Structure 1
Amino acid sequence: MMQVGWGTLLKRFFNRSSGKQRLGLALTDQGVHISVSEKSAGQWRWVKQHFIDVADWPQQLHPWVQSNNLQFCQCNLVLPASKYQIMQVERPAVEDSELAAALQWTVKDILSTQEELKIDYFELPAQPAGANKVSVVVASRKDILTLARVLHHAELMPDQITIEETVLLDASGKDNEAVVSLVQHAGSEVCLSIYKQGKIYFTRRIKGYELLSSLTIDELNNGMLEALATEVQRSMDYFESQLHQAGLRKVVLMLDSDFQPEIAENLKNLLFIDVVNYVPDIAKDDALVMRHAYITSVVASQLGASVKSAKKVAA
């Protein structure tokens, strides 16, 4: 899994950790979902869930951490889509050791900005004939430092700052055959990604589904699911014809809708491939119920614990 290379920036604030508990924080435009996993008898279990509203979370995080005796626990933070961009750019003609620095200038030229940026990149496993591009993750350095200060004040010890596309890589990308992932949180666009053998082959955002959670199944069936199926089919066609990959046979859903089972069945009928709802295979306390809004933070709480991460690609 690609690990966004901001860990070194953050770790300088911290020097100790309990090691027995880990937090996953998933930021959204509504607030922050916090999951706690705990190691017992050699196994990590999801043991606690909490939500703090967006207006209060920087102030309320520390009191909550203290009240739950979670000071100095390692944590993984997942950025919301509004805090970063993913763009494909031509690979600069430089040595690998100089690539991250060269991409800084490339991205600043594309965005026409003088703002300080934090970037990471991941290589594309397959490209159209004649292409030589890399996918670059771009975020504001100011935003990252602000988050670092919040975590520092809360007495948490960050291990990874990452993005949703890479968190869910372990959720849907371990199969030997490629799968399509459709992910959407309240008020956001649908993120479509194609994974194969633990690598991202393709990712894009699909507009027009920001109000998905408010729609009935009849409203969804009134053209919206057909349009979504068309977008999925176009991405599948690109994967097969332009990237010269074997045909896709599975779609994994994590959508902000009470009608996700019905959506899965209808998309299956439209696409003629298997469509399943994603639920992470994670041990948990019996009192906890896995809900759509929790999944990203739950998976993030065990990154680096039960999930092996690939080497960072940029410092």
Structure 2
Amino acid sequence: MIQKFAFKFRSSAGRPRQATQIAAIYLQAEQLKLVLVRSIDQVVLKTETVRLVDSQQRVSACSQLARELPKNTALCLVLSADSYQLVQLDKPPLAEAEMRHALPWQIRDLVSIPTDDLIVDYCDVAEPASQQQAKIQVVASSRSLLAPLCKVLQQSPAQLMNIQPDEWLARNLLPVQPQAVLLLSHQPGQELSIQIVRNGTLYVSRKLRGFNRIDQMSYSDLSLGLLDNLLLEVQRSLDFFEGQMRQAPVKEILFLLPSPELPAILQYFVQNGFTQVRALDVSAYMPGSSLAEQADYWLPLAGALELLLSAETSIETTH
């Protein structure tokens, strides 16, 4: 379950819903981003970015950001894609305690992190009805990376409650509703993500290679085949969700894409038969902010909102 996924550095102090303020620190290779949110109305109170000269500065910068937070702020540490690896495999017939000891050895040939440095957690995956074998999604990261960070965060005024991979968080910006939506989201320099969410549950999550510069490309360049490829990948995801997973059709397609060409991209989808298409607006969380600021901070915002989830949620499949 995503709500319980937190590696094993989580603080035991307090419940997230008791905090009047929540926060997230987004750990990236070249920078750290902080978002502080008021719990009662989910309005962002503060954003900050710290550029890193090198990886040795990461721990001190993380400590600096956390020390600026109000006392007892519930904190989520969000890992960027270069800080973790996801592996899906058949669920071993083991008890919970045995599972955690066995997983590093079971995935050691599937990840690039040395076995003696692995720290892992997992969540159950509900596969399509046609597949009976239970599966799990394993999240692997480096103990030598996380341990120093968690140590300084647990010594700060904030309460480190959770550690999350960034891939699972965009769903927190969507309303919990029975109608499924497909979300295309993008972070600068990273691959484009396609996700299908229904009732707050992530059913499909895919990374699309070849789209890492989509936010920097002109519409004329995008029209040279890239948009056609994107249409194809969207349709593949819809077919998988509605066909193999036997789910009701997706209601609409949302874009979280910091590109000046987004209006033209939306129109291109409309012209190709996708009528329920729109940009995802996060301005209600960040009143008065520019589109550039929203693009910079939507992902750590989604990490902070993870702390407000009261119901357990799960991944249905990673396709």
Q: Under a length normalisation based on structure 2, what TM-score does the superposition of the two structures give?
A: 0.82
Q: What residue in structure 1 maps to residue 257 of structure 2? A: 255
Any residues of structure 2 matched to 1:62-211 within 5 Å, and which? Answer: 62-66=63-67, 68=68, 70-95=70-95, 98-111=98-111, 113-127=114-128, 129-132=130-133, 133-152=135-154, 154-172=156-174, 174-211=176-213
1:78-99 CA distances to partner (integer Å, 9 max, x unpaired)? 1101111222211212346654
- Judge conservation of contact 1:65–1:71 (CA < 8 Å) in 2: no
Percentage identity across aligned positions?
Answer: 21
Aligned amino acid, residue 249 of structure 1:
K
Q: What residue in structure 2 maps to residue 294 of structure 1? A: 297
1:71-120 CA distances to partner (integer Å, 9 max, x unpaired)? 55321111101111222211212346654444333222434852332222
Aligned amino acid, residue 208 of structure 1:
G
> C-alpha separation between the residues in 2 aligned to 1:131 and 1:109?
25
Query: Which deviates the most, 3-12 or 286-295?
Result: 3-12
- Judge conservation of contact 1:46–1:282 (CA < 8 Å) in 2: no
Q: Give the direction of change, closer, same or farther, for the CA distance of 1:237–1:276 in structure 2 (3 Å limit).
A: same
Please give the root-mean-square deviation of Cα atoms over the aligned residues, in Å: 3.2
Q: What residue in structure 1 maps to residue 43 of structure 2? A: 45
Aligned amino acid, residue 3 of structure 2:
Q
* 1:28 shift after superposition: 2.8
Aligned amino acid, residue 172 of structure 2:
D
Where 2:93 maps in the other structure, the secondary structure is: coil
Query: Which deviates the most, 134-143 or 200-209?
Result: 134-143
User: Which of 230, 234, 237 is the matching residue for 1:235?
Assistant: 237
* 1:22 shift after superposition: 2.2
1:188-218 CA distances to partner (integer Å, 9 max, x unpaired)? 1112222222222221211111122221122
Any residues of structure 2 matched to 1:3-14 within 5 Å, and which? Answer: 3=3, 5-6=5-6, 8-11=8-11
- Judge conservation of contact 2:69–2:158 (CA < 8 Å) in 1: no
> C-alpha separation between the residues in 1 aligned to 2:58 and 2:146?
16
> C-alpha separation between the residues in 1 aligned to 2:32 and 2:273?
34
Query: Which deviates the most, 208-217 or 262-271?
Result: 262-271
Q: 5+ unaligned residues in a row in structure 2: which ranges? A: none
* 1:249 shift after superposition: 3.2
Where 1:129 maps in the other structure, the secondary structure is: coil
For these two proteins, the number of residue pairs brought into alignment is 307
